[in-house]
Amino acid sequence: MAGVILDVRNLSVSYDTPRGPLKALRNISMQVPEKKIVGIVGESGCGKSTLILAIIQLMAPNANVTSGEVLFKDNDLLNHDLKQMQALLGVEISMVFQDPMQTHNPVLTVGRQMIDIQYRDKLSYSEKRQRAADMLALVGIPDAEARLNQYPFEFSGGMRQRIAIAMALMAKPSLLIADEPTTALDATLEVQIIKRLRELRDEIDCSILFISHHLGVIAELCDEVVVMYAGEVVEAGNVRDVFHAPSHPYTKALLECDPGHIKEKTRNLPTIPGEIPDLVELPEGCVFAERCSKIHDACSARPEFQVVTESHAAACHLNNGELVK
Amino acid sequence: MSSLLEIENARVCFKVRSGLFSGAGIIDAVSGVSLKIEEGKTYGIVGESGSGKSTLARAVAGLHHASEGSIRYRGQELRNLPEREFRKLRREIVMMFQDPIGSLSPRLSIRSLITEPFRIQGMSDWDLDAEAKRLLKMVGLPEEFASRYPYQISGGQARRVGVARALALDPKLLIADEPTAGLDVSIQGEMLNLLARLQDELGLAIIIITHNLNVVRHITDHVGIMYLGKLVEEGPTEKVFATPQHPYTLALLAANPEPDPDARLMRIELLGEPPSLLNRPSGCEFHTRCPFVQSRCESDVPSWHSDTDHGSHRCHFPENWVGKQIV
Residue B325 has pLDDT above 60, yes or no: no
Number of neighbouring beta carbons within 10 Å of residue A81: 8
Residues of chain B neighbouring A187 (CB-CB closer than 8 A): 48, 211, 213, 252, 255-256
Which residues, 6+ apart, have CB-to-CB distance to B224 below 8 Å?
B33, B35, B43, B44, B45, B46, B231, B233, B234
Residues B212-235: pLDDT tens digits?
Answer: 888 888 889 999 999 999 999 999
Please give the share of chain A, as a percent, with pLDDT higher than 70. 99
**pLDDT interval class at A213 (50, 70, 90):** confident
pLDDT value of residue B320: 65
User: Closest Cα of chain A to B29: distance in Å?
Assistant: 17
Tally of domains in chain B: 1
Residue A88 has pLDDT above 70, yes or no: yes
Residue A154 has pLDDT above 80, yes or no: yes
User: Closest Cα of chain B to A266: distance in Å?
Assistant: 5
> Could you give the residue ranges of the DSSP H alpha helices within chain B?
53-60, 83-89, 110-120, 128-138, 155-166, 185-202, 213-219, 237-242, 247-254, 295-299, 318-321
Q: Is B143 contained in some domain?
A: no
Q: What is the mean pLDDT of residues B251-280?
A: 76
Q: Do A219 and B258 touch (CB under 8 A)?
A: yes
Q: Is B106 contained in some domain?
A: no
Residue A1 has pLDDT above 50, yes or no: no
Residue B18 has pLDDT above 70, yes or no: no
Residue B75's CATH number: 3.40.50.300
User: Closest Cα of chain A to B256: distance in Å?
Assistant: 7
pLDDT value of residue B207: 95
Residues of chain B neighbouring A255 (CB-CB closer than 8 A): 259
pLDDT value of residue B265: 57
User: Closest Cα of chain B to A119: distance in Å?
Assistant: 32
Residues A18-47: pLDDT tens digits?
Answer: 999 999 999 999 999 999 999 999 888 889
Counting one residue from A and one from B, how many pairs have CB atoms under 8 Å apart? 117
The pTM for the full model equals 0.85
CA distance B225 to B246: 9
3-state SS, residue B73: strand
Q: How far is CA B127 from CA A196, B115, B130, in A?
A: 59, 10, 6
pLDDT value of residue A186: 77
Q: Do B256 and A216 touch (CB under 8 A)?
A: yes
Residue A282 has pLDDT above 60, yes or no: yes
Q: Do B186 and A272 touch (CB under 8 A)?
A: yes
Interface of B with A (CB under 8 A): 48-49, 154-155, 184-190, 192-193, 196, 211, 213-215, 217-219, 237-238, 251-252, 254-263, 267, 269-270, 272-274
Q: Is B126 contained in some domain?
A: no
pLDDT value of residue A159: 85
Residues B154-167: pLDDT tens digits?
Answer: 888 899 999 999 99
Residue A180 has pLDDT above 70, yes or no: yes
What are φ and ψ of residue B11, in 5° steps?
A: -135, 130
User: Closest Cα of chain B to A82: distance in Å?
Assistant: 34
Q: Do B184 and A186 touch (CB under 8 A)?
A: no
Residues B186-195: pLDDT tens digits?
Answer: 888 888 899 9
Residue B326 has pLDDT above 50, yes or no: no
Q: Domain of residue B41: give its range.
A: 5-92+171-321
pLDDT value of residue B327: 37
Which has more pLDDT, B121 or A262? B121
Q: Is B238 contained in some domain?
A: yes
Residues of chain A neighbouring B269 (CB-CB closer than 8 A): 188, 191-192, 195
Q: How far is CA B119 from CA A283, A316, B115, B172, in A?
A: 44, 52, 7, 19
Largest CA distance in chain B: 66
Residue A226 has pLDDT above 50, yes or no: yes
Q: Is B208 contained in some domain?
A: yes
**Residue B199 and residue B226 in contact, taking contact as beta carbons nearer than 8 Å:** no
* Short-list B126, B155, B159, CA closest to B140: B159
Q: Is B164 contained in some domain?
A: no
Residues A98-137: pLDDT tens digits?
Answer: 888 888 999 999 999 999 999 888 899 999 999 999 988 8
Q: Is B145 contained in some domain?
A: no
Q: Do B252 and A188 touch (CB under 8 A)?
A: yes
Q: Is B293 contained in some domain?
A: yes
